[in-house]
Structure 1
Amino acid sequence: MSVGETVETEPRRRRPGRAIRFGLIVTAVLLLLFGVPWWTFIGSGNDWPAAVQVTGTVVFAVALVAFPFLMFSGHGRHHRDGPAVIADTMLGVIWQLFVWSIAGQLLRLVLALAGVDAPARSRIATAAAAAVAVVLLVWGTIEARRVPRVRRVEVTLPRLGRGLDGLRLVLITDTHYGPIERSRWSRGVTEVINTLDADVVAHTGDIADGEVSQRVSQAAPLADVRASMARVYVTGNHEYFSGAQRWVEHMASLGWEALHNRHVIVTRGGDSLVVAGVDDRTAAGSGVPGHHTDHEAALAGADPALPVLLLAHQPAQIPGAVAHGVDLQISGHTHGGQMWPFHYLVLTDQPSLQGLSRHGERTQLYTSRGTGFWGPPFRIFAPSEITLITLRAG
């Protein structure tokens, strides 16, 4: 166990008071998410005909009531795909309507100061907010569904031997095979990877939302990924909602090294690199036996003089990497924010949103924006990526 790292062996017990507080917070958030757009598009001085006001109010009210039930049904224990698709799409739409409703209210204020009379100023602001939201949702759908572009990065590791200079590491993460059938997309990702002449291919978790039996066809193309030295995988937090150990075993059956708090060594030209992996930081509280973040176990037996590449799903796991002298941690989890301006909320929990950053004297962190998407089938100002990292000797 590393300094400052707590390894839990049993899931936390939920307290009734905590559940009540959580319920109240969720209720307040939903009222804001649906209430602010209702006020902008239906109320707020638009002076719509009574039929429009009643119809609009009913639509928002039904959506507000239905949303949590659809979300629970879709993402609960049984992973029902139909309700999940509806709930996820609703979440993305209402988030954009919420964001641009606030912008619309600011525009309404500017128009009022400019002397534009009511209800014209309210209707102009409403139309502008709706137009921007619709355009971004259409664009975001296209961005989410396309096969990611390749993002090329060079990272210098001072301890890397000359024999490994130029090692080509391909990182994919957060594929989130889920309720929207994306087997064709998955094949496209594999085809792109196989054009990159990879030495090592790494998947840093959140492989799917659902059990192996539900997502087996979407994950199948991973078996065809080519790498000259290693294909390695670690769990993300979403595996712990849907059979983490079964995903570890399935990835092994597809020919990937599941780095379940363990490491492998890759060697070329007489020089070696430790490629290690740790379970996600949520693993300990999941109740899955034997799963927890354990850097000590991951590096047990490795020569401390060798450089270390660590797979860890969340950037927030970087303190453990720093404490254990890791040279480069590669992570995902953040999706680069996925839907602006959610970016800023992500940074309240994670030390990095995307890209390369340095932590401590030795350790660097590369955070991918993710290869797929979670939940809302939109990517707005957060493009997906397949990352080609070229390692350079110091």
Structure 2
Amino acid sequence: PNHHRFHIVQLSDVHVGHVIKKPFVERLVNRINESSPDLVVITGDLIDRDPNKIEKHLAPLANLKSKYGTFFALGNHEYFHNPQRGIEIVKSLGITVLDDKSQTLVDQSGQPFLNVVGLLDLTGRNMDTLVPNAKQAFENINKNLPTVVLAHQPLWIQDIAQFQPDLVLTGHTHGGQIFPFSYLVYIQQPYLNGLHQYIDHRYIYISRGTGFWGPPIRVLAPSEITELILTTE
């Protein structure tokens, strides 16, 4: 590929469930495919109901097209709805689940050029299943390459800054979703939305979310499909 310009599309907090269903997901897939990305990433809270009941609504995600595929990291809502079954369904759609794992992308000439790391959600620390382990997630990366991390909650940055990833992609906050409740997010999370430098030349991006949770209202926090272009200096 052209390593000087690498195009990532990020989805986060789609919340497929009682309100967001197949037509919404189909529109998302069409919009993403039109942009011809190199990589698609989903940073958690894709599933917001018993996954067996929404399998048909998730099905269009199998049609996502990108040069290097689609990668998924769990959010807190996956933990509330039979997470192991959710992982199975996501994998069945041809999506790579990075549950405290990494994958190194390799170009057509066989040259590795980017680490992609995916973290389990912090919610797992309070449950007896899928407990996150950041050290395990990073242990197999190629330290000579840039690293992009998929982590649902911005709060993860406190634990993973030691590994100095180049870019961390997160969601969870919904940009506050309904103003003036945005300030409440800061009690739990270090960032609300947008791009921030967490240490020199290392960045974290917080998506406002693609769908919504709870009532279908978003005031001053519009939803988004995020497009990121990585360039080499």
Class of the TM-score when normalised by the shorter of the 2 chains: over 0.9
Identity of aligned pairs, percent?
35
Distance in 2 between residues matched to 1:292 and 1:380, nearest whole Å: 34
Counterpart of 1:284 in structure 2: which amino acid?
A: R
User: SS of 1:345's equivalent?
Assistant: helix
1:14-25 correspondence to structure 2 within 5 Å: none
Distance in 1 between residues matched to 2:172 and 2:202, nearest whole Å: 19
1:1-394 correspondence to structure 2 within 5 Å: 163-180=2-19, 182-268=21-107, 270-288=111-129, 291-394=130-233
Corresponding residue of 1:129 = none
Q: CA deviation at 1:293?
A: 2.1
Query: Which shifted more, 233-242 or 279-288?
Result: 279-288
CA contact (8 A) 1:235 1:313 kept: yes
Distance in 2 between residues matched to 1:236 and 1:229, nearest whole Å: 22
User: SS of 2:87's equivalent?
Assistant: helix
User: SS of 2:94's equivalent?
Assistant: coil
| Structure index of larger Rg | 1
User: SS of 2:188's equivalent?
Assistant: coil
CA contact (8 A) 2:20 2:211 kept: no
TM-score (norm 2): 0.95
CA contact (8 A) 1:174 1:333 kept: yes
Query: Which shifted more, 184-193 or 314-323?
Result: 314-323
Q: CA deviation at 1:362?
A: 4.2
**For the aligned residues, what is the CA RMSD?**
1.5
Deviations 1:248-274 (A, max 9, x none): 111111000000100111133645100
Greater strand content = 2
> Which stretches of structure 1, 4 residues or more, deviate above 2 A after TM superposition?
267-271
Greater helix content = 1
User: SS of 1:282's equivalent?
Assistant: helix
Deviations 1:199-235 (A, max 9, x none): 1100000012111111112211111111111210010
Distance in 2 between residues matched to 1:260 and 1:166, nearest whole Å: 27
Identify unmatched segments of 5+ residues in structure 2.
Answer: none
Counterpart of 1:277 in structure 2: which amino acid?
A: G
CA contact (8 A) 2:102 2:140 kept: no
TM-score (norm 1): 0.57
Counterpart of 2:37 in structure 1: which amino acid?
A: A
Counterpart of 1:209 in structure 2: which amino acid?
A: D
CA contact (8 A) 1:169 1:389 kept: yes
